[in-house]
Structure 1
Amino acid sequence: MYFRLFLLALATFATGTAENIIVGILPTIAPSLGVSVGIAGQLTSVFSITFAPTAPLALGLTIRFERKSIMLSALAVFAFSNVVAGISPSYSVLFIARIGMAAASAVVCLIATMLATELVDSGMRGRAIGIIFMGISGSMVLGVPAGMLINEWFGWRAVFLALASAALIVLLLAQSFLPKMGQRLQSGPDYKSHLKSYRLLSAQVVSILMIGGHFVLFAYLAPYLTETVGIAGPHVVLAFIAFGAAGVSGGYCGGWLADRLTPRMAIIVTPFFYLLALGAIPLFSDTPAAFIAVMAVWACISWMISPVVQSFLISADPATVEAGIGLNLSAMHIGVALGTAAGGLVLECASLQALPWAGCILVGLAVVFALNATRRGRRMRPTG
C-alpha cells in the first residue's frame, strides 16, 4: 500500500517539478530563443495560469473514464509536451508546450490525490494526502536547483528531456503496480453544492489566505536572508536546503495531524500555529542561528495546510469531495499569486522587514475563516 502511495507521490513530484524549473534556467533560454528574460519568464506564469482552472475541469473526465487510465494518459501527455519543449525551435512552440505540461500536471495531481484516499482506510486518509503533498512540495523546493544543475552540465533542452524521461518511468511503474480503481462519477462534480456551503467555502479560503501569507515572504526570501538576516553567499543555499527539508516533511505532518486530531481541530490549529511561527521570524532576524530554527518550523507548517484542508473537505461533505479537491488545487495557485503580488506591493510601499508582518495579516484572516469553517449549524427540529 505504502509503495503505491509513494508511487503516486513520485508522479506529482515529476510533473510538479516542471512548474518552477524555468526560474533557474531563464538566463540560458532567453538568448537561445532570441527573447528577453522578461518574456522568457512568462513561461512560468503560463504554467500557473493553466494549472489553476484545469484541476477542477479535469473532474469531468471521471464521468467517462477510470481514474488510473486518466492518470496514465496525463503522464503520457506530460512526457510528450516535454519532448516538444526539448526540441522546440522557437519561443512560441515552447510556450505552447508549457501549456500542455501544466494541464497534464494538474490532472496528475488531482487524480493522484483522489486515488490515494481510496488506497487506505478512512482513518489514514490524512496521512495518504500528506504523502501526495510531500511530492508536490518537494517538486517546488527541489525543481529549481535540479534544473540549474542539468542546465549547467547538458544545456536547457536536456532539462525538459530529463522531465520527459522521469514521467515515462513513472508511467511504466504506475501501469505495472497501480490497480484499476476509482469509481466513475455518475454525474458531473457538484461544484454548486460545494460552493453554496459557507463551511466548505470558508475552508477553501483558508488555503488561499494561508498560502498567500506564506508567499508574501517566501517569494522574496533570498533578499530577506541577505539584507535583513545577514546570511550571504553559500549560506543562502544551505538555508534553502534547510527550508526545503522542513517543507517536504510538512506535507506528511499535516496529514498525520488531521488523523491524530480531527480534521475539524487540525484546520484551526494549523493556521494558528503558523501565525505564531511567521510572527516570530522578524523577532529572530538579528540572530541567524535562531532564525534558521524558526524558519524550519515556518516551512514545515506552511506545507501542512493543504492535506489538513483536504481532509476537512472529505470529512465535512463526502458527497462533494471530488469538487472540493479540484477546487483546492486551484486555491493553492490562487494563494501563490495573491502572496507574490502582495509581497511585491509591500516592497514598493514599505520594506523587506515589513514582509512577515504583511503575511501575518493574511494568515490572521485564515484563522478567522478556519473558525468559520468549523462552526456547527443549528440542528433542524424533527417534524411530525
Structure 2
Amino acid sequence: MKTTILILAANPQGTSALALMSEIRHISEGLKRSLHRDSFNLEQRVAVRPGDLQIALRETKPRIVHFCGHGTGEQGLVLENDAGQSQCVSTEALASLFGLIGNWVECVILNACFSEVQAKAIVEQVNYVIGMRQAILDRSAIAFTTGFYEALGSGDSIERAYHFGCNRIQLEIPHSLTSRKGTVVEAGKPEIIDEHQIPVFLEKALLTPFQPILNSHSIDREATPMQNNINLIGSSNTNLTGSGTINTYSAPNNVERNQVINNNNDSSRKMEINGNIGGDFNASGQALNFGEMEISGTVTNTIEQPEKAETPEAPQLAELLKQLQAAIETNPDLSEEDKEVALEQVKVLAEAGQNPQAGGLQKASKTAMKIIKGTLVGLPTATKLIEQCNQLLPAIAGLLGLA
C-alpha cells in the first residue's frame, strides 16, 4: 500500500508572493529521484480555504500532511476565503481537526513562517510535527523540503529526514543569509538563529503505532544484478533479463503455484509472489518503466470517475480531458518536469468533474487552468499543444461551469 502525502498550499491576494508551485515541484522531484519513489502517492490542493481542509483530508486520508504558505504565529495559519483574500485558521481549530484524524495522519509539516505555535498544539494529536520558529527564506523552505522528501523516499525515518532537510539548507543557502536575529529571549538580547535551525521537530509524548512507511516488500533498487541461478516454480509469463542461469520447473497440480526469485548469496533478497507474474522484470526484481507511467495512469484513472457521473456533460468532459492528457504527454517541446506539473492539473480538473458545482473544486479548477497555461509560456506560438489547449481549455471550463 502506498503512502499518501497531501500538499496543502495557499497564497492569498495581498500577501507576499511565495514560490509555492516551485516547492510542490521540488517535493515531486525529490520523491521521483528517491530509491522507493513508487511507494508514495502525491496529492495536492492549492488555493486552500478553511472549509477545504476537512474535505481534502477525508478524501485522501494522507499519512503525511504538508502545508506551504503563510503563518502569523499566535493568530494561526493563513488560508483563503471565497474571494481569494486572507483568512486565518486558529491554532485551536487546527489541533481539534488533527485530533479527529490522528489515527491516519502520522506527520504534519508546516512550512510556513512562525508556525511553531501551531506545531506545538498539533503534536498533542499527531506523532510528528515540523514547524518554523520564525520567518524562513523562500529558498530555505524549498531546500528543507527537497532534503526531507529525498531522504524519506530513500527509506529514512521521519526524524532523520528532518535532519537531512536542515542540512540541505546549510549546503545550499549562502552563509551570509543563514544567520540573523531571531526571537528576543531576554530584554536587549535577541537570540541568533541560523537559517537551518529554524525548522523545529516535535514528537508526541505517547506515539500512536503505525506500520513502517516503506513496506517490507519494497524492492531494493540498488541491489546488485544477480549472478546466481534463478529458479521459477510454476507457470509464468514473465520476461527476465540479466546474467545467470534460469531453471524452470513445472509444479504438480496439487502444489501451490509460487514464483520464487532467490539470490543464493543473500537470503534476505528473496521475493515470493503468489500466482503468475505479469510484465517485464530485470534480474534484480525491479519492474521496468513502472514509475515512469505512474502519473499518467493516475490521471487516466481519475478521468474515468467523471465519465461515470450521472450528468449529461460527464462523457464529453471525460473525452476532452483525455484529449488534453494525450496532448500534454505526446508534446516533444515540454520538459518532463512541466509535463508532470501539467498532468497533475489535469487530474485536478478530473476530480472537479465529479462534482462540478462544489465551490472549492471550482476554485481549484480555475487555478489548475492557470497553471496549465503557465507551462505553455516560452513554447513557440505555432506549437501544436498551444493550439490544442486553446480549443480544449475553454470547452472544459464551460462543462465545469467556469465560463
Higher share in strand: 2
Higher share in helix: 1
Structure 1-normalised TM-score?
A: 0.29
Structure 2-normalised TM-score?
A: 0.28
Q: Which has the higher contact order (CA 8 A, sep 6+)?
A: 1
